[in-house]
Amino acid sequence: MQTGVPIATTSGITRVAVAPEMGNPSSSETPNTVQRIGVPREVFPGEKRVATVPDVVGKLIKLGFTVSVESGAGDAANMSDDAYRAAGATVVEGAAQLWASSDIVFKVRAPTAEEVALMHEGSTLVSFIWPAQNPELLKQLAARKVTVLAIDALPRTLSRAQKMDALTSQAGVAGYRAVIEAANAFGRFFSGQITAAGKVPPAKVFIAGAGVAGLAAIGTAASLGAIVRANDTRAEVADQVVSLGGEFVKVEYEEEGSGGGGYAKVMSEGFQQAQRAMYAKQAKDVDIIITTALIPGKPAPKLITAEMVKSMKPGSVIVDMAAEQGGNCELTEPGQAVVKHGVTIVGYTDLVSRLSTQSSTLYATNLFRLAEELCKTKDGIINVNMEDDAIRGLTVTKEGNITWPPPAPKLPAAPAAPAVKPAAVVAKPKGGHGQSSAPASGTRTAVMFGVAALLFWLIGASAPKEFLAHFTVFVLACFVGYMVVWNVKPALHTPLMSVTNAISSIIAIGALVQISPIAGAVDRPDELIRWVAAAGIVLTAINMFGGFAVTQRMLAMFRK
């Protein structure tokens, strides 16, 4: 026997969601009706995030969906039930009612066995699934004949998929929080200070792994004033480390470390030995180590040995961001912060959840962008298009069939090779005996200087002395200006040009002379010249003050 659950929609019309019988799952909606997105409360211990936030609920409704949220789902992320109601969502009491009435379920953590049992045939789940690590979960979901989109399986190499990339958004939050946890456990300032009580040296931070989380940690630690060093197996991230204020520490071993999908690969034993030697050296010198190394589908590599921990200074801190996958440090205890050999080892597995409001907002935005791709018609009905590389990569089960792993994404066709033009036949100069007719570069330069010298002589022979003085200053100014700009870093060209532009506005003095003639002069300038000079003063003043203002704002971008 089936029971009908009345649910009030945002349009004021009451619809009945049918709860399926045990062992007889059925969809609560026909394929042609508006689909309902359900957001349950996360049941994973310590998980504070929620899959959507009130600010995003309104955007989902504009796509045509109706939205239900389980009561209390957003409490840990500071999202009240009243806020969801105000945004247009329906607040549902109890997980069973929410799962039964939802056509699409947005979640953060992978569903438990109890939650899988609540799903009905034909529904769709969007969540972190980690299909490589959870093959049994895939079988359970397939048995329920549901469609599952694993947000962690998104092909990250597709540029159009970046707006849906929840792994990146959550890793950025985790990297920031790792530095905050390190600062909390560290007994000193991050930035160096000179006070009446003495000099405080800056903290030294070493970050192992410069992926998204690592780069976020580098930027945060550098902004707090620490001396930041980082290492990664991928040499191409060195410039990114430097741009964020860090120093890239290179392993003295040549091997390419880029893996598929933007991840690092497992390195050779020779490289790993050289890497361990470098880590051992850094461990003795730095105050804080933050490790971020993960390889998809495999346990976290052990980078920091017990001997390295023993060699660190008392009061040092290690934040192991890979603790949930076993940890990068041999002494890490997942979920705990412990002190061993005088070193605090932070192995929290809920770094992202400790910033639940921010991480929930970013995650909700990722899922909304995915909903836009699934519902391009904005009619409240999703279309899991298996011809779309991004959607195909996400889909791990489709209507009960396991579709993971996906096929390799289609590569764009290589551009056609340009037609080879026949080589031009160079005619020999007459009487040249095969020698080139083009003058040598040295001869060309000598001719140019000779012509320039002749022009200067002609000007000097016929021009008045006053003109020669101004002309000499003009030539020298051009030469000095060229040399100054040529020897400045390209990144500083714009602020340099703005300030030199402001300084060059000395022309305002000439305009002032025209407006106020020298005392004792008989002739006074006519009104036209005075008005032109006044306009020149106004424009030059804008140029001067504006140039300095732009310079200050741009130079501020290059300061810590």
The structure tokens 């040296």 sit at: 201
The H or E element that residue 319 is part of is strand 317-320
Output the six-digit token pair for 557: 């971008």
Do 396 and 131 contact (CB within 8 A), yes or no? yes
Q: What is the rounded average pLDDT of the residues 324-340?
A: 95
Name the amino acid, one letter, at 200: V
More confident of the two residues 485 and 235: 235
Q: Which two tokens stand for residue 370?
A: 């995915």
Average pLDDT in the 169-181 region? Answer: 97
Confidence grade of residue 409 (pLDDT, cut at 50, 70, 90): low
**Placement of tokens 């101004």 in the chain:** 470
Hey, which residues does 92 pair with through a beta bridge?
70
Lowest mean pLDDT among 21-25, 162-166, 167-171: 21-25
- Tell me the pLDDT tens digit for each residue of 428-457: 444 444 444 444 567 877 888 788 788 877
Higher-pLDDT residue of 178 and 271 is 178
Pairing of strands 395-398, 401-402: antiparallel
- Evaluate if residue 525 carries a pLDDT over 70: no
Top-ranked range on mean pLDDT: pick from 56-65, 233-242, 451-460: 56-65
pLDDT of residue 183: 97
Cα–Cα distance, 307 to 5 (Å, whole number)? 62
Mean pLDDT of 241-260: 82
More confident residue, 253 or 426: 253
542 or 289, greater pLDDT: 289
* Whole-number percent of the chain with pLDDT over 90: 58
Task: Work out the number of other CB atoms within 10 angstroms of the CB of residue 138.
Answer: 19
Output Rg (C-alpha) for the chain, integer angstroms: 34
Q: What is the mean pLDDT of residues 174-197?
A: 94
pLDDT of residue 23: 39
User: Could you count the other beta carbons within 10 Å of the beta carbon of residue 59?
Assistant: 17
Q: Poorest-confidence range of 62-76, 140-154, 192-206, 502-516?
A: 502-516
List of residues 6+ apart from 100 with CB closer than 8 A: 5, 17, 18, 19, 20, 28, 118, 120
On the 0-12 / 13-18 / 19+ scale of CB atoms within 10 A, 388 is middle
pLDDT band at 504 (very low <50, low <70, confident <90, very high): low
Confidence band for 256, pLDDT divided at 50, 70 and 90: low
Average pLDDT over residues 94-122: 96
What distances in angstroms separate CA 154 from CA 130, 150, 396, one per listed residue? 11, 7, 11
Greater pLDDT, 333 or 456: 333
Tokens at 386, concatenated: 């298996």
Confidence of residue 1 (pLDDT cuts 50, 70, 90): very low
Model confidence at 21, pLDDT cuts 50, 70, 90, reads very low
How far apart, in whole angstroms, are the C-alpha atoms of residue 317 and residue 309? 10
Average of per-residue pLDDT across 123-128? 97
Residue 11 has pLDDT above 80, yes or no: no
The pLDDT of residue 443: 82
More confidently predicted of 288 and 436: 288
Place 178 in a pLDDT band, splitting at 50, 70 and 90: very high
Q: Is 68 helix (H, G, I), strand (E, B) or coil?
A: strand
Q: Which tokens belong to 474?
A: 């003009």
